[in-house]
Structure 1
Amino acid sequence: MGRFFVILVCCLLLSTLTNSSKPAIINPSQSVRDGETLLSDGGSFQLGFFNPANSTNQYLGLWFTKSPQTVLWVANRETPFTDRFGVLNITREGILILYSRSSNIVWLSNSSRTEENPVAELLESGNLVVREENDKNPANFLWQSFDYPCDTMLPGMRLGINFVTRLESSLSSWKTSEDPARGEFSLLLDPNGYPQLVLKKGNKTLARAGSWNGIRFTAQTTSTPDSISTSEFVLNEKEGYFVFGITSLGFPRLTLTPEGIPQRSIWNDRTHQWQFVEIAQLDICEHYSICGANAYCQINNSPICSCLDGFMPKSLRDWKLSNWSGGCVRRTPCSDKDRFENYSRMKLPDTSSSWYNKSTGLEECKEICLKNCSCTAYANLDVRGGGSGCLIWFGGLIDTRRSNGDGQDLYVRIAVSELENIEKKRPVDKKKQAVIIASSVILVLGLLIVGVISYTRKTYLRKNYNSEERTQDMELPWYDFSTIGHATNNFSSSNKLGEGGFGPVYKVNRSLILVQTI
């Protein structure tokens, strides 16, 4: 029995040595080896070595403790270990170094400065940081993994660019589900013009989430508040970035799959699984510049592409063949007498060739655009509180679509001579048309009812009037000839009053008539 107990203890000790968790912090005298992990203070995240499914390659990665198979960040994604002898150290200069059994450096971090007592710490947010031992201020971190994301964005992680250091943080897909090396797809904030979120395959833009309008990216077709995460966009002289934060509903993440599909999910503690809450569905109108320049896409139209008012297909032949890539061109040359046509519910065009000013109002924005013939459109920069700021486009308007839901107002430059033709061709708004028809029907019915009432009343009055007349006529007394003769003394000349066109007129002795009648 004693021998069995000794063997059991040895087995437990061996298990502990081969797979142990260290505190969240290591210093230059410590390291992390295969079978060991760093555990964040709250236990939510772990950092250690792993092998992808069906792969013998080894990597240093970071995962969600409740879902160890979900790797959120990889250090040596391009240079894997082919054995299980990797080691992670931090130097006295504050550099993280990952090296092999033969002491070959496989991966290392960087830093713009050094500290006296650097340490590496895995934070409860999932951020691996290098800092001075007694300084926990994020602004003073020497290095952090959040600046170098892989395929996953976590709450608090920034997607954007630092204009001072030129450091860009973007998502890049895994090559395959078994190979964390950088894949073909990336999700990044394009800093040219007014920054916008774009999805790329290599150097080719596949789709745009659009620019930030104060509430959401303009490609989003709903203004319903996001119950999964809170979004924020920051843009100033030093940096521009997008970030989302955690809510009480759970821990969210944004992942770019090896197939180039952005998807958001949230950890469900009840089912112990990631629950997908949004998977990007790219319809044909989301394909970048599907309609070419100066045209817009509307998914429920046939054809889906239409030239903006005042523009015509650059190649009519191609346009009729549903090849819209050539886009549209103005029919009338630009002038300072041009006007602006308002398009509502729009995903704003590509902003890489735009100019913006946060303090300029919409009316001033219009005047600035009108003075420059290369200016083709303008819009509010921020839609909150009735709108503010100025966003101006130069050159062709690319990758614009119209939505049946929410969108933004876009004011497109157009020649005055085109306005009259547009008004003639413009279809009547269905709602307005329905109101006009309903009003006309109500008016006709009203007139008809009034007419019937009037006719009925007149007929009733006429009937009653004739009836009264007849009644009055019937109430006149009737006398026979002998009675009249007696009352006029047999028509004596002494009773004669005169004579007219109707014959002689006699005076009647009424008392005699009454006596005779009785």
Structure 2
Amino acid sequence: MDSFSQTLIAFNLVFCLFRSVAASDSLTVQNPYLRDGFSLVSRNGNFELGFFSPGLLGDRYLGIWFKNRRGPTSVWVANRENPINGSSGVLVMNITTGNLTLYGHNTTDVVWSARLLRKVPNGVLQLLDNGNLVLRDGDVENPQNYSWQSFDYPTDTLLPGMKLGWDLRNNINRRLSAWKNLNDPSPGSFTWRMELHEYPETVMWNGSKKYFRHGPWNGVTISSWPLGLAPNLILHFVSNEDEVYYQYTVIDESYTVMLVMNQSIYVRTVYLWSVNEREWTVYNSLPRDFCDNYALCGPYGYCDFRVVPSCSCLEGFKPRSLQNWKAGGFAAWL
């Protein structure tokens, strides 16, 4: 019998005892398992890690969500492409190597595992109050020494403090991909990522087609970022030999902000949670209108959403095909 099986048997013997224990924010070498039906809660109660079913089929996923808030609260999902059928899932932190693995029905049914930057035999898996799930050495809390963190592997949501972009040292591309639909958290075709070139910029993609781009950093902000993005929100851009990323922080802690990719309507939405009003509100969405779509009117065309059709040719140009132009296939030529 392997060490995992022995430890799992021992865990099952004391399983009922955990029902009376207050929620913890960590897994440790003394308690290295999280089973379906139990959860980790961040120290100040902002976030919760556990198993959930988003749809009617009952498929189970390990995820992180805002605790005690109505509305769109899920912010991260581990096994997006490999749901667990039933409530047999268990998250295991190996007490010898520090490896982090999610099992389905048995020890051979691996549905998800973490890509560790280094081994942490004295590991602690901790859910932080900013929504980041981190695996670290038990004696070290420095973020630079995390062996793994969920912020490096986002799903459809960007939280304050998360980075959208590249960790070039470890070849980690921090990008967002929308859920396929409200009942299926597997990665959809609607994505948002950092494009690396001389002037890095973030671009939304619909499959293999560019859908929307913000434009590059102009030294102060993103050139096409909407003004008044959210109350007291500050944008940061970092580009060096180690990392290239955007990040935002919120000064006013009475507001919670999250950016969510939504494939149902193909928009990236900024949600605000007000402590006073106790509800989520939509602050803004991108694209803002029809004309925000990338290269909509083709070369030598321009867009005006106030008229129909919205695309027109620049002076001196005419449609390459009048029939296609009227059907929405915009392309102009001299």
TM-score clears 0.5: yes
Counterpart pick for 1:168 among 167, 170, 173: 173
Counterpart pick for 2:130 among 122, 125, 142: 125
* Aligned residue identity for 1:178: N
Quick one: distance in 1 between partners of 2:70 and 2:21? 15
Say whether the 8 Å CA contact 1:73–1:152 is kept in structure 2. yes
1:83 maps to what in 2? 86
1:25 maps to what in 2? 26
2:45 maps to what in 1? 43
2:297 maps to what in 1? 291
Deviations 1:400-430 (A, max 9, x none): xxxxxxxxxxxxxxxxxxxxxxxxxxxxxxx
Quick one: distance in 2 between partners of 1:73 and 1:323? 37
1:106 maps to what in 2? 111
Q: Using a 3 Å threshold, how does the CA distance of structure 1 residues 114 and 17 change in structure 2: closer, same or farther?
A: closer
1:64 maps to what in 2? 66
1:145 maps to what in 2? 150
Counterpart pick for 2:36 among 34, 37, 47: 34
Number of aligned positions between the proteins? 314
Deviations 1:344-402 (A, max 9, x none): xxxxxxxxxxxxxxxxxxxxxxxxxxxxxxxxxxxxxxxxxxxxxxxxxxxxxxxxxxx
Is there any run of 5+ residues in structure 1 with no aligned partner, and where? 1-13, 330-518
TM-aligned CA deviation for residue 218 of structure 1:
2.8
> Bigger relative contact order, structure 1 or 2, given CA contacts below 8 A and separation 6+?
2
Q: Using a 3 Å threshold, how does the CA distance of structure 1 residues 152 and 161 change in structure 2: closer, same or farther?
A: same
Q: Using a 3 Å threshold, how does the CA distance of structure 1 residues 127 and 225 change in structure 2: closer, same or farther?
A: closer
SS at match of 1:139: helix
1:205 maps to what in 2? 210
Quick one: distance in 2 between partners of 1:180 and 1:320? 37
More off after superposition, 298-307 vs 88-97: 298-307
Quick one: distance in 1 between partners of 2:311 and 2:38? 57
Is there any run of 5+ residues in structure 2 with no aligned partner, and where? 1-14
Q: Using a 3 Å threshold, how does the CA distance of structure 1 residues 110 and 225 change in structure 2: closer, same or farther?
A: closer
Q: Using a 3 Å threshold, how does the CA distance of structure 1 residues 20 and 45 change in structure 2: closer, same or farther?
A: farther
Quick one: distance in 1 between partners of 2:323 and 2:199? 32
Quick one: distance in 2 between partners of 1:254 and 1:229? 12
TM-aligned CA deviation for residue 216 of structure 1:
3.2
Say whether the 8 Å CA contact 2:260–2:268 is kept in structure 1. yes
Counterpart pick for 1:268 among 259, 270, 274: 274
TM-aligned CA deviation for residue 315 of structure 1:
3.2
TM-aligned CA deviation for residue 109 of structure 1:
0.2
TM-aligned CA deviation for residue 163 of structure 1:
2.9
SS at match of 1:210: coil
TM-aligned CA deviation for residue 320 of structure 1:
7.6
Once the two structures are superposed, the pairs formed by residues 435-454 of structure 1 within 5 Å of their partners are none
Which structure shows the higher helix fraction?
A: 1
Counterpart pick for 1:74 among 74, 77, 84: 77
TM-aligned CA deviation for residue 136 of structure 1:
0.9
TM-aligned CA deviation for residue 21 of structure 1:
4.8
TM-aligned CA deviation for residue 246 of structure 1:
2.0
1:255 maps to what in 2? 260
Quick one: distance in 1 between partners of 2:43 and 2:190? 34
Quick one: distance in 2 between partners of 1:231 and 1:316? 43
Quick one: distance in 2 between partners of 1:328 and 1:312? 5
2:219 maps to what in 1? 214
TM-aligned CA deviation for residue 24 of structure 1:
1.5
TM-score, length of structure 1 as denominator length: 0.55
Q: Using a 3 Å threshold, how does the CA distance of structure 1 residues 164 and 314 change in structure 2: closer, same or farther?
A: farther
TM-score, length of structure 2 as denominator length: 0.83
Q: Using a 3 Å threshold, how does the CA distance of structure 1 residues 126 and 190 change in structure 2: closer, same or farther?
A: same
Q: Using a 3 Å threshold, how does the CA distance of structure 1 residues 279 and 163 change in structure 2: closer, same or farther?
A: same
Quick one: distance in 1 between partners of 2:226 and 2:310? 18
TM-aligned CA deviation for residue 291 of structure 1:
2.1
Deviations 1:454-501 (A, max 9, x none): xxxxxxxxxxxxxxxxxxxxxxxxxxxxxxxxxxxxxxxxxxxxxxxx
Quick one: distance in 2 between partners of 1:80 and 1:316? 48
SS at match of 2:219: coil
TM-aligned CA deviation for residue 149 of structure 1:
0.7
Q: Rg bigger for which structure?
A: 1
Say whether the 8 Å CA contact 1:20–1:36 is kept in structure 2. no
2:190 maps to what in 1? 185
1:54 maps to what in 2? 56
More off after superposition, 26-35 vs 212-221: 212-221
Deviations 1:176-214 (A, max 9, x none): 111111122112222244222222111111222222223
Say whether the 8 Å CA contact 2:287–2:293 is kept in structure 1. no
Q: Using a 3 Å threshold, how does the CA distance of structure 1 residues 321 and 37 change in structure 2: closer, same or farther?
A: closer
Once the two structures are superposed, the pairs formed by residues 222-233 of structure 1 within 5 Å of their partners are 222=227, 224=228, 226-233=230-237
Quick one: distance in 1 between partners of 2:60 and 2:19? 16
Say whether the 8 Å CA contact 1:228–1:252 is kept in structure 2. no
Say whether the 8 Å CA contact 1:292–1:328 is kept in structure 2. no
2:200 maps to what in 1? 195
Deviations 1:3-23 (A, max 9, x none): xxxxxxxxxxx9985586532
Quick one: distance in 2 between partners of 1:146 and 1:180? 17
